[in-house]
Chains A and B, each alone.
Chain A
Amino acid sequence: MIEQRQILNQHDIELTIERLCQQLIEHHGDFKNTVIIGVQPRGTFLSNRIIAKLQSLIPNSTIESGNIDISFYRDDLMRREEPIVPEVMDMNLSVEGKNVVLIDDVLFTGRSIRSAIDALMAFGRPKSVELLTLIDRRFSRHLPIQPNYVGRTIDAIESERVIVEWKEINGKDRILMVKSE
């Protein structure tokens, strides 16, 4: 039996993104020395929303951004059934000396973010790296990685899955918790 529960609806997500953007502005001001990087594949939807929102909140700003593919930086190639199909590495920039904000939708074990940090270092030595995530599944980390900006913190057990749906691919924005028995 599959049990599913909505955690955030479209309106909640909009409000959360707006709040996260305000927090980013508080820390990064005009974004002159900041780069926003979405983690492929699913972090890029959130990162696109955030960039669009930031641009409407601080008009005349140009925000440098990219999307990073972490497939080749993962450590589980020989532990998976199939290799991951890589996404586009869209990094036409250098992160040397920049403040980087990594963006992903769900923070779970922290392993993807470990890979993302590793991948990021191939594009220079950033001044700092921060992490923004829409959902933080706390108490399930395998590595000592914590987000700087969090949309919603949730407690979920191993068998539960958090699914983030985006208008662009699923028709509407919503976040679900799915429990299968």
Chain B
Amino acid sequence: MSNLSVDHLLGIKYLKKSDIDLIFKTADNFKKIINQPIKKVPSLRDITIANLFFENSTRTKLSFELAEKRLSADVINFSSASSSVKKGETLLDTVNNILAMKVDIVVMRHPNPGASVFLSRNIDAKIVNAGDGAHEHPTQALLDAYSIREKYGEVEGKKVVIIGDILHSRVALSNIYCLQKLGAEVKVCGPSSLIPKHLDTLGVTHFSDLKKALEWCDVANVLRIQLERQDVNYFPSLREYSMVYGVNKEVLDSLQQEITIMHPGPINRGVELSSDVADSKHAIILDQVENGVAIRMAVLYLLAGKIKNN
């Protein structure tokens, strides 16, 4: 099979395992391409992609834009900070105005969960969700799982713990769906105030002790504390959080086995991850960034294959 079962990438929830395998296989090829002397391929010539970022982003936006340019697509960028959204325009109006400029694919980040699903039902373009509120961030989960596959050869049977602010994290939810579909075992770790109530319905259990979590896992995916999303105080202070849940060299050295550390970035150095861990050989954080471009190229390529020209 060489076609995705979906027309849009709205969330990992909607993908089949065969879709994820196809994206990974395609990304393997793109990873080779982006390590060639000339990294640009003409696959998406004449395709126009709009990057609509209604919420701040640096690395996801750069990664998407680079992937689009390496595929030779025409790219337009939009960020809400400097737009008519501030003047009261609705999402649908904004997007329809952009689509009137003949855009084929929309990559969107939006603060409201479900914004990309809403868009996919109302407009005629392929949608890639680049993060919608605390709902999903599918390309991040794909690149995380892809990085685990690259490190260990496969994802199946691996034990992955996601540490930190699970409540506000779209990365955590997408990661849980993706890793479980690929046959990995997923648990979370963090203060109970930052663990969503109904997580057990996804078959995910919770460690409150960091050391126990790290002893159990092969891979620890450490999330950023998202202070900007926290409307009330979920823990007494950053310093206290760091003392209890911060991953540092001391705790890693005390483990029986060597584990892999991942982080979706940006890192709050000294809060969830200490500098000596972030820069150590345990961390595959920069591999994640490189793989992000290959994964996004694969997703855009496969979705563009669903656009019919005539």
Question: Which residues of A come within 8 Å of B, CB atoms?
Answer: 69, 71-75, 77-86, 88-89, 91, 94, 118-119, 121-124
Additional A-B contact list (16), CB under 8 Å, known A89-B33, A123-B37: A72-B42, A72-B71, A73-B41, A75-B42, A78-B47, A79-B309, A82-B1, A83-B2, A85-B25, A88-B29, A89-B32, A94-B37, A119-B41, A122-B40, A123-B36, A123-B38
CB contact list, B8-36 vs A, under 8 A: 25-26, 29-30, 32-33, 36
A158 to B133, CA, bound (A): 54
Q: Is the CB of B43 within 8 A of A85?
A: no
Q: Is the CB of B36 within 8 A of A122?
A: yes
A residues less than 8 Å from B1 (CB atoms): 82
> Given A72-B29, A85-B25 in contact, is the A78-B304 Cβ separation under 8 Å?
yes
Tell me if B301 is interfacial: C-beta within 8 Å of chain A. Answer: yes
Smallest Cβ-Cβ distance to B308: which chain A residue: A78
User: B29: which of A79, A81, A86, A121 is its contact (CB, 8 Å)?
Assistant: A86
A69 to B41, CA, bound (A): 12
Q: Is the CB of A89 within 8 A of B29?
A: yes
A69 to B29, CA, bound (A): 9
A77, A80, A119, A123: most-surrounded residue (chain B CB, <10 A): A77
Tell me if B44 is interfacial: C-beta within 8 Å of chain A. Answer: yes
A residues less than 8 Å from B256 (CB atoms): none
Interface of B is mostly: loop
Q: Is the CB of A78 within 8 A of B307?
A: yes
The count of residues in chain B whose C-beta lies closer than 8 Å to any C-beta of chain A is: 29
Interface pairs (27), CB distance under 8 Å: A71-B29, A72-B33, A72-B71, A72-B301, A73-B42, A73-B43, A74-B43, A75-B42, A75-B45, A77-B304, A78-B305, A78-B307, A78-B309, A79-B308, A79-B310, A81-B3, A82-B305, A83-B2, A84-B2, A86-B25, A89-B29, A89-B36, A94-B37, A118-B42, A122-B36, A122-B40, A123-B36
B residues less than 8 Å from A86 (CB atoms): 25-26, 29
A117 to B248, CA, bound (A): 51
B residues less than 8 Å from A119 (CB atoms): 41
Smallest Cβ-Cβ distance to A76: which chain B residue: B309
Q: Is the CB of B38 within 8 A of A77?
A: no
8 A-B pairs with least C-beta separation: A83-B305, A122-B38, A72-B41, A78-B309, A86-B29, A85-B2, A82-B3, A72-B43
Q: Is the CB of A77 within 8 A of B37?
A: no
A54 to B232, CA, bound (A): 74
A residues less than 8 Å from B71 (CB atoms): 72
B residues less than 8 Å from A88 (CB atoms): 29
B residues less than 8 Å from A89 (CB atoms): 29, 32-33, 36
Smallest Cβ-Cβ distance to B44: which chain A residue: A77
A residues less than 8 Å from B2 (CB atoms): 82-85
Q: Is the CB of A83 within 8 A of B308?
A: no
The smallest C-beta distance from A60 to any residue of chain B, in angstroms, reads: 31
Smallest Cβ-Cβ distance to B26: which chain A residue: A86
Q: Is the CB of A77 within 8 A of B43?
A: yes
Tell me if B155 is interfacial: C-beta within 8 Å of chain A. Answer: no
A residues less than 8 Å from B33 (CB atoms): 72, 89, 122
A residues less than 8 Å from B304 (CB atoms): 77-78
A81 to B309, CA, bound (A): 11
User: B38: which of A71, A82, A85, A121 is its contact (CB, 8 Å)?
Assistant: A121
A78 to B310, CA, bound (A): 8
A94 to B307, CA, bound (A): 35
> Given A72-B29, A78-B307 in contact, is the A83-B42 Cβ separation under 8 Å?
no
